[in-house]
A and B are shown apart, each in its own frame.
Chain A
Amino acid sequence: MGAECNCNCQADSNKKIDELILKYRGNPNGLIVVLAAIQQEMGYLPKDLMIKVAEELNVPLTDVYGVATFYAAFTLRPRGRHSINLCLGTACYVKGAPEVQAAIEKELKIKAGETTEDRRFTFDVVRCLGACGIAPVMTVDGEVHPRMTPEKVSEVLSKYE
């Protein structure tokens, strides 16, 4: 679904979203369902679509935005093709996760919570992935990378195009 995608998937997802919005027209109860679908299809909640949801479902835009910023499942910016999650839980923290974070931020030229300009990566920090035995832990698209070091960052990320 990147900018260079020519497969028409964008048009398809818009159709799906439009159908769902039509289904919940005038029904504020559909707010979270519709937002979740937009998040799923678009990878984020575009402002234009949030305004459309407010108008069509008859929900104040304040509520749409409030829900969108309340739940961690929603993002307001487009996400990258690959999702990096670095654990900053206690164990990972003491085993050097902050240094790994600095290395990732330097490599990608973004801060935690941001997406690279080419939308290749979105980088987030998370709390405890439940794998303290292999700290510091990083996942990319759910794939686990144990015992991360600043030196390994460049090599690991190069595998994801």
Chain B
Amino acid sequence: MATVTLTIDNQKVEVEQGTTILEAAKKVGIEIPTLCYMKDINAIGACRICVVEVEGARALQAACVTPVAEGMVVKTNSELVRKSRKMTLELILSDHPAECLTCLRNTNCELQALAEAFGIKEVRFTRGAAKSAKIEDIDDSSPSIVRDPRKCILCRRCVAVCEKVQGVKAIGPVNRGFETIIAPPFGQGLMDVNCTMCGQCSLVCPTGAITEKDDTDKVWAALSDPNKHVVVQTAPATRVAIAEEFGKEPGTISTGKMVAALRRLGFDKVFDTDFSADLTIMEEGTELIQRITTGGTLPMITSCSPGWIKYIEHYYPDLLPHLSTCKSPQQMLGALIKDYYPKHAGIAAENIYSVSIMPCTAKKFEAQRDEMADSGYQDVDVVLTTRELARMCRNAGIDWDSLPEENYDDPLGISTGAAVIFGVTGGVMEAALRTAYELITKEELPDINFTAVRGMEGIKEATVKIGDLDVKVAVAHTLGNARKLLDLIREGKADYHFIEVMCCPGGCIGGGGQPIPTNLEVRLARIAGTYKIDEDLPIRKSHENPAITALYKNYLGEPLGELSHKLLHTHYVPRGVYRKPEGIPEGSDH
């Protein structure tokens, strides 16, 4: 590859041709400020915060979209550049509500950070009553995500991630000039449109214009209610991320500290979604074997990821029979917490309040689906994202560093390495293969690590010899990649037996409810942390989880048995993209 030598702030730098000034500057330790820029996803030069002086150029250039050239002389910190950037920021601030103290993104906001860095001491310009978006434009129709267009700076990062990564584009620019807002079409709320609730928009929003719906008040109220027995479960991906909220390195493993924090917040029992991830493997593995041996619909596709579920319901309702009927681990444990657990512990089910801690905004939507009440109650009462749990910890004055390591409660807190890798792309597939291999062949796996399904590649394929059968599998993360596999199925060209789909980049560790920032480097660190937990656990196969074996023996019977079917399986709703699809029957209730 040809290289180019240029000068940035008097430093010579040699970079590959085609590199932008922004990336080149990074190489010599200069962080040019940005707002609208998102590596590989949004490079549109719209916000003008990254402008630099290029010798000989007519005007200041946006560093994020200007490629370097041989002999180029760039100044990133001249008087002119500083003045221009500051004026741009002041103009953005002129249409931004100064509500930092009451904003969910307070102290973690890119706009706020820039205002501090640029030394903004007063907001000189104000649009007053002529603000482009009003308080009545706030969209809280969705149980997952809140849009506050007043705080939007029109950077379009959310639009880019929704369109280019997820292939949905539920929101986009509406109107023109000062009137522009980022919104779904026809003034609708997110709940009324094809939004999958994945929350990737909330991860990339530089301000508080798109956030998770904060449900911490509901949980505080339950914890303060002496009549409530408050039970919590934690998803696999939260334990490698939550420490970031307390200044730790991405990927720091904090399973024990998180359990301790939850006890200090006042939860009566701390259970682990990893337990029901193992349960999922038993149910889903059995379902797969049954489909293969009885000529059922193949390929079978995983059903753990609620953003993915809503996506296929909207975009590929004709392919719903391919989905495993298994509920997600959250909902399996939710059903057990209000059906099995009350009998086991001698507590009235109506007094149980069930909370889950998830890396995911779509889980909030999933919990309130009509189907998710097989215990006779809403199985999961409230879902908090990783970010919300961290907020509660800060509220309670919990000092993360001095927390001890504690263990989950029995019996719904016992799990294996196969369960924890549910949090990363390829993990459900690997967990399923570990169990399917041993259940079918009755032999021990020669190598427990299925590395072919690991990693950040968008679509991964593998063929695994299980007994006489060559099992063909595929793994996709992000909805954009899932779409490619679904199109193959529609065309009859997908000869896979089993497909894993996770909605978010990197899997749940990159979920829309995770700490901000969540970028590629952070995702990779959380993935590494997850595999480390798996490696260090004494049991790494779901079917060897003694608590799962006991649950089947003492309560459920067998996988796909009558009680399992009632509590652990579900059906799906054909939604269509913009209108209800014709000719596809609603799933029958079991």
**Chain A residues in contact with chain B, CB under 8 A?**
47, 50-51, 54-55, 60-66, 69-71
Residues of B within 8 A of A55 (CB): 577-578
Number of chain B residues close to chain A: CB under 8 A: 16
A60 contacts which chain B residues (CB < 8 A)?
163, 168-169, 172
Closest chain-B Cβ to A108's Cβ sits at a distance in Å of: 24
- 18 A–B contact pairs at CB < 8 A? A47-B186, A51-B579, A55-B577, A55-B578, A60-B172, A62-B172, A62-B185, A63-B169, A63-B172, A64-B185, A65-B172, A65-B186, A66-B174, A66-B185, A69-B174, A69-B175, A69-B176, A70-B175
In the complex, whether B62 has a CB less than 8 A from a CB of chain A is no
**CB-CB contacts below 8 Å: B163-201 with A:** 163, 168-176, 184-186
Contact between chains at A65 and B578 (CB < 8 Å): no
9 cross-chain pairs, A with B, having the tightest CB-CB distances, nearest first: A65-B185, A62-B172, A60-B169, A51-B578, A69-B175, A62-B169, A66-B172, A70-B176, A61-B185
Q: Is the interface of A mostly helix, strand, loop or mixed?
A: helix
- Distance of A47 Cα from B579 Cα, bound (Å): 12
Q: How far is the CA of A116 from the CA of B163 in the complex (A)?
A: 39
Main secondary structure of the interface of B (DSSP, over half): loop
Distance between A41 CB and nearest chain B CB, rounded to angstroms? 21
Measured between alpha carbons, how far is A123 from B176 in the docked complex, in Å?
21
Residues of B that sit less than 8 Å from A by CB: 163, 168-176, 184-186, 577-579
Are the CB atoms of B173 and A66 closer together than 8 Å?
Answer: yes
Known: A60-B169, A64-B185, A71-B176. 17 other contacts (CB 8 A): A50-B185, A54-B578, A55-B577, A55-B578, A60-B168, A61-B185, A61-B577, A61-B578, A62-B172, A62-B185, A63-B172, A65-B186, A66-B173, A66-B185, A69-B176, A70-B175, A70-B176
A61 (CB) vs chain B CBs: closest residue: B185
Instruction: Given A47-B186, A69-B175, A70-B175, check contact A62 B579 (CB 8 Å).
Output: no
Distance of A62 Cα from B170 Cα, bound (Å): 6
CB neighbours of A71 from chain B (8 A) = 176
Question: Is there an interface contact between A65 and B174, defined as CB atoms closer than 8 Å?
Answer: yes
Determine the distance from Cα of A47 to Cα of B578 in the docked complex, in whole angstroms: 11
Complex Cα spacing A61 to B184, Å: 9
What residues of A have a CB within 8 angstroms of the CB of B176 in the complex?
69-71
B179, closest chain A residue (CB): A69
Nearest A residue to B177, CB-CB? A70
A86 to B566, CA, bound (A): 67
Closest to B170 in A: A62
B172, B173, B176, B185 — most chain A CB neighbours (10 Å): B185
Report the Cα distance A51→B579, complex, angstroms.
9
Q: What residues of chain A lie closer than 8 Å to B171, measured between beta carbons?
A: 62
CA distance A61 to B577 in the complex (A): 9
- B316 vs chain A, min Cβ distance (A): 14
| Residues on the A chain within 8 Å of B175, using CB | 69-70
A63 nearest in chain B by CB position: B172
- CB-CB < 8 A to B170: which residues of A? 62
